[in-house]
Amino acid sequence: MTNYAFIDSQNLHQSIKALGWKIDMRRFRVYLKEKYGVSDAFLFLGLIPKFHGLYRQLGSGGYRLVLKPVSFLPNGGVKGNVDTEIVLHAIDQMPNYDQAVLVSGDGDFASLVRYLDDRKKLEMVLAPSPRSCSVLLEKAAGTKIRFLHEQQVKLKKKRTP
């Protein structure tokens, strides 16, 4: 069985950070493979040149990066919305996978989740935590949703001295 993961990196990062810990992306990649049989993990990110080293590290850690140019806001913030890219990739790649794992708590993906589930292509939605997960996404996923905060012991980045 061939399963693909589609990961909303900004949602994952911000939601886990709000819980007070950092996810170890190498451990997460292993978790996706072992728990859900994920052969290809697409990680959607905003492209910021100063993070070139991070992108290289993530790529060597087993992720297939999908980078989108960002907009720099007047307040110094960055906007790199990747929702459309995730939906397009999940649908475009459907002939290549048996089941999809969506990693996000964003309610904008409720229709994608219903679409995949109707076609028997949804393995699981992995949302960072119940408090950062949209009710719309939870409803669309039904019983096919799990929360990563429950896996903190397995996925938490270990402190380096």
Q: How far apart are CA 15 and CA 131, in angstroms?
A: 9
With respect to residue 81, please indicate whether it lies within any of the assigned structural domains.
Answer: yes
In this prediction the pTM is 0.92
Here the CATH number for the domain that contains residue 102 is: 3.40.50.1010
| pLDDT tens sequence across 51-99 | 889 999 999 999 999 999 888 888 877 777 889 999 999 999 999 999 9
Q: Is residue 160 part of a domain?
A: no
Name the pLDDT band for 160 (thresholds 50, 70, 90): low
The answer to whether residue 24 sits within a structural domain is: yes
Tell me how many domains the chain contains. Answer: 1
Task: Confirm whether 105 is domain-assigned.
Answer: yes
Residues whose CB falls within 8 Å of the CB of residue 51, separated by 6 or more in sequence, listed in order: none
Is 89 contained in some domain? yes
The CA distances from residue 111 to 8, 44, 137, 140, in Å, are 15, 19, 8, 7
Q: How far is CA 142 from the centre of its chain?
A: 18
More confident residue, 94 or 149: 94
**Distant-in-sequence, close-in-space partners of 29: CB < 8 Å, separation ≥ 6:** 41, 61, 62, 63
- Domain-located, residue 147: yes
Could you tell me if residue 49 is inside a domain? yes
CA distance 63 to 44: 10
**Per-residue model confidence (pLDDT) at position 75:** 84
Give pLDDT tens digits for 88-147.
Answer: 999 999 999 999 999 999 999 999 999 999 999 999 999 999 999 999 999 999 999 999
Q: Which domain holds residue 141?
A: 3-155
Any domain includes 161: no
